[in-house]
Structure 1
Amino acid sequence: MSLPELDEPATLSRGADYEQVAARFRPIFARIAEGTADRERTRTLPFEQIAWLKTAGFGSVRVPVEYGGAGISLPQLVRLLIELAEADSNLPQALRGHFAFVEDQLNAQPSATRDKWFERFVAGDIVGNAWTEVGGVKIGDVITRVSKQNGRWVVNGSKYYSTGSIFADWIDVFAQRDDNGQNVIAAVNVHQAGVRQNDDWDGFGQRTTGSGTSVFENAVVDEEHLIDFESRFKYQTAFYQLVLLAVLTGVGRAALRDISHEVRKRTRVYSHGNAPRVSDDAQIQQVVGKIAARVYAAEATAVRSAQASQLAYEARFGNDDAAEAKANALAEIDSAKAQVVIADLILTSTTELFNALGASATSEDKQLDRHWRNARTAASHNPLIYKERIVGDWHINDTVPPYVWQIGSIRG
C-alpha cells in the first residue's frame, strides 16, 4: 500500500541502522540473561535489569532522532524486543505499556507537551500500564475516576494486571472524568504518596513482569496529562499484540539455545538410541532442527506483521482518512494472524524440546519448564479463538476488526 505525502516527514521514526542500535544493548542483554533462571526460581523482580536498560536509553529507541532517540521502525523494535526476550521474556512484557505510551506520543500532534514527553523518554523515564479492573465491573464501565479537588485533578481507583508499573516513573491509567463522563488516559507520576503498588500477580508464567495491583488514592495528575482516550493511536491493539509476539518469539529462541546446549553437553545415552553420543543421534538432531525451523518462522512472521503497524503509523500523518483507516485495519488483522501462527509454533517447540532429553531435563535446577510456562502465559492474552474468528470475518465479509478490547461482567 502506497502512502500519501506526509505532513511531517522530518520527525517520523522510519528506521535506523539496526545493527548499530542493537550493538548498544547486546552487552546489557547478555548481562540480563546471566541471572534469568535464578530470578525465575526465586521470583526476584528485575529492578536492577530495568535500570540498566533505562540508563542505556532503551526506552527511547522509537523516539525520533531529532529529539535524541534512535528513530527505529516498528519492525526493528520487534526485532530488538525479541533479542531482549531471549535474554529474559519478562522484560519486554514489563515494558509493553511504556512502548505503547511512546507510540501514542509519536502519533500525537506536535506540541510542547509531546516534546516534553520525548525529553523524558530520552532521559530514561519509563511508563507503566494500569487499565484492567477486576471484580464486579461490567464490560464498558470504568470505576477509576478523575475528579477535581481543591483546584487540582486527582485519580482514585484500583487496577490489576498493571504490567511493569512497579518499575515505572509514570503510569498510563485508564479512567473516567467525573465532570463530563469522558474516558481518558491519566499519566500519573508514581513518585507520590497517592500511588501504591503490590506485586501480587499469581500466574504460573511471566512471574517477574511486575503485573500486580496499583491503587490510586487522590493521586495528583496534571491537567496536561489527561489524554482523551478517543485520541489514542488507532492501531494500539495491534501494537500491544506485537510486543507479545516478540515475547513469544524470544521464548522460542531461548528454548532453542538451552536445548542445544543441553544436548551438546549430555554424556548419558539410551541403549536403544542411534549413536554413542547424544549430539550425534539423528533423531535428537531432528527434534532440535524442527524447533530451530519453528523459531525461524516465528521470528520472520513477527517482524513481517510489524510492517503493517509501521504503515499505519506513517499513514497517521497523511491527508487520506480512507488510507489511514485501511492501514489501521490491516495492522490489526496482520497482528492477529501472526498471533495465531506464532503461539502454535512456540508452544509446540517448548513442549517438544523435552523429547531431545531424558527425565533429568525436568529438574527444577535447569528451569527448562519456564519456557513453556512463559509462552503459555503470553499466548493466553487476547484469546486466540476470537482472533481466528475476527480474521475469518475480515476475509469473508470485509468486517472491520475491533480496536478496543475489554473484559468484565455482562451488564444486567
Structure 2
Amino acid sequence: MSQTEAGWGAGPSAGYEALAAGFRPVFARIRATAIARDLAHTLPHDEIGWLREAGFTTLRLAREEGGHGASLPELFNLLIELSQADPNVTNALRAHFGFTEDMLCSSSPEWRARWTARIGDRQTVGSGVSETGEAKVGQFDTVLRPHGGQWLLNGRKFYTTGSLFADWIHVSAQDEAGASLVAAVPVRAPGVEIVDDWDGFGQSLTASGTAIFTDVLIGPELIKPDPERFPYAMAFFQLVHLATLAGIGRSAAIDVSRLVAERKRVYSHGNGSRAGDDPQIQQVVGRVRGAAYAAGAIVLKAAEALQRTYDVHRNGEAADHAAGIADIEVNQAVSVVTNLVLDATTTLFDALGASAVKSGLGLDRHWRNARTIASHNPRIYRDRAVGDFAVNGTAAPRQYRVGSA
C-alpha cells in the first residue's frame, strides 16, 4: 500500500514510492519483532544487517557510487517509515547518516572519495562525540596525541549510539593544545571497547552507552581534514529525532486502530455494541492518527529547508544564511512535534480498557521511546531561540554542546 493510500499523504517526490518499495518488506520484518525485542532487550544486530544488505545505509550516495541518490526529504520520509517499525533502529543509524552528510559536504576530495567508497561498500559509522566527564562546554577530555607519524587516542565517550553495530566510530577529540580534531576510528581496532550500559527506560536498544579508547593507534588518513561539521548539522541531527517521533506516532496510531477493531468487550455506559462503533472511541483513534499525520507533514516541510541548504553548499556558495533558516524551521518544529506525539502516545489508552497496559502488547514503549527522544537537546531552549529570532532577528545557535560550566 502506498503512503497516499494509507492516508499519510503523498511522499516527497514523484519517485518516492518506487524508492520506498524496496525497503518496506525489511521495515515489516523489523516491526514484526519490535515488541519481543523490547521486552527481552535483544539488540537489533540482525535488523541493522538487513538494512545494510538492502542498501538502506547508502541512500544518499549517487547511484553510480552504489547508492540510491535520495534527496533529504526522501531520506527523512524513509526514516519516518523505519521509525514506525522500530525507532531504536533509526536512532542507531542517526550518526551514520550524519557522517554521510559530513562526507558529502567535505571540502576535501580525498576524504570524500575514501568515505564514498566505504559507505558504498555498506560500512557504517556510529557516534563518539558526547562525554559525561568534567570537560567544560565545547571541550573534550578525549585526546589525540602525535605518535611516530600517527596519532594515539585516549578517552571515554558516552551516548555512543549505534557504535556497537557499526564498523567505525566518529570520534570528536582535541589535541594536547586544545584544538579540535575528528577521527574515524575502526570499531575493532586494538584498545577500543564498547559497553552496552545504556539503561534508559526508552530507546533501550540503541546501544547508547560507553566507548573506551586506550592507546588506540590512528593513521593520519583517518583524521578528518576539517573538524567542522556540515553547515546544516544541527538541524539535521535534530530532524532525525523529529522523524523518529513522527514514526512513533504512526506506530501508535496503527496499534490503537487495530486493537479497537479487535476489541470484543464494551462498557455498559458506552455508545455502541462494539468498541469500533463507539463514536467517542473513534474520536480518540482519530486524534491519535491526526497527531501522527501532522508530525510527519511538519518533518517533511522542515526537510525541504535542509535540502535547500545542501543545494546551496554543493553549488559552491556560502550556506550560512540557508543553514540559519533551516535551524529556525527545525527549532520551531521541535515542541510542536514533541507535544503531538507525547500526547498521542498517552491518549491512545483512552480508547482501550485496562488490558491495554499488559506488557505483551508493548503499547507503553511508544511513550517511553517518545519521551526519551524528546529529552535530547532540551526543547525549552529551542523555543527560546525561535522567540529571539522572531523578536530580535537573532540567529539560532549553530551547535549544542554539553559540559561543565
TM-score (norm 2): 0.95
**What does 1:115-130 correspond to in 2, within 5 Å?**
115-130=113-128
For 2:317 and 2:102, locate their aligned partners in 1 and report how far apart those are by CA, in whole Å.
Answer: 20
Please name the residue that 1:43 is paired with. Answer: 41
Q: CA deviation at 1:148?
A: 1.8
Unaligned segments of structure 1, at least 5 residues: 1-13
Change (3 A) 1:151 1:72: same
Q: CA deviation at 1:250?
A: 0.5
Post-superposition CA distance 1:270-294 (Å, at most 9, x none)? 0000001001000000000111111
For 1:215 and 1:66, locate their aligned partners in 2 and report how far apart those are by CA, in whole Å.
Answer: 37
* Aligned residue among 317, 333, 336 for 2:331: 336
For 1:271 and 1:16, locate their aligned partners in 2 and report how far apart those are by CA, in whole Å.
Answer: 49
For 1:74 and 1:273, locate their aligned partners in 2 and report how far apart those are by CA, in whole Å.
Answer: 46
Q: CA deviation at 1:66?
A: 3.1
For 2:257 and 2:145, locate their aligned partners in 1 and report how far apart those are by CA, in whole Å.
Answer: 56
Answer yes or no: is 1:326 the counterpart of 2:312: no
For the residue of structure 1 that corresponds to 2:156, the secondary structure is strand
* Aligned residue among 289, 304, 308 for 2:305: 308
Post-superposition CA distance 1:76-108 (Å, at most 9, x none)? 111000100000010111000000000001101
For the residue of structure 2 that corresponds to 1:386, the secondary structure is helix
Q: CA deviation at 1:230?
A: 4.7
For the residue of structure 2 that corresponds to 1:148, the secondary structure is strand
* Aligned residue among 2, 16, 19 for 2:17: 19
For 1:344 and 1:265, locate their aligned partners in 2 and report how far apart those are by CA, in whole Å.
Answer: 28
* Aligned residue among 393, 396, 404 for 1:401: 396
Answer yes or no: is 1:369 the counterpart of 2:364: yes
**What does 1:8-407 correspond to in 2, within 5 Å?**
17-109=15-107, 111-178=109-176, 180-228=177-225, 230-321=227-318, 324-407=319-402
Q: CA deviation at 1:213?
A: 0.3
Matching residue's letter, 1:74: L
Post-superposition CA distance 1:52-95 (Å, at most 9, x none)? 11111111101122322111111111100010000001011100
For the residue of structure 1 that corresponds to 2:182, the secondary structure is strand
For 2:214 and 2:118, locate their aligned partners in 1 and report how far apart those are by CA, in whole Å.
Answer: 25
Residues 145 and 155, structure 1, Cα contact 8 Å, conserved in 2 = yes
For 2:289 and 2:226, locate their aligned partners in 1 and report how far apart those are by CA, in whole Å.
Answer: 41
Unaligned segments of structure 2, at least 5 residues: 1-11
* Length, aligned pairs only: 394
Residues 55 and 122, structure 2, Cα contact 8 Å, conserved in 1 = yes
TM-score (norm 1): 0.93
Q: CA deviation at 1:110?
A: 5.5
Matching residue's letter, 1:287: V
For 1:121 and 1:298, locate their aligned partners in 2 and report how far apart those are by CA, in whole Å.
Answer: 30
Sequence identity (%): 46
For 1:319 and 1:86, locate their aligned partners in 2 and report how far apart those are by CA, in whole Å.
Answer: 36
For the residue of structure 1 that corresponds to 2:361, the secondary structure is coil
Q: CA deviation at 1:320?
A: 3.8
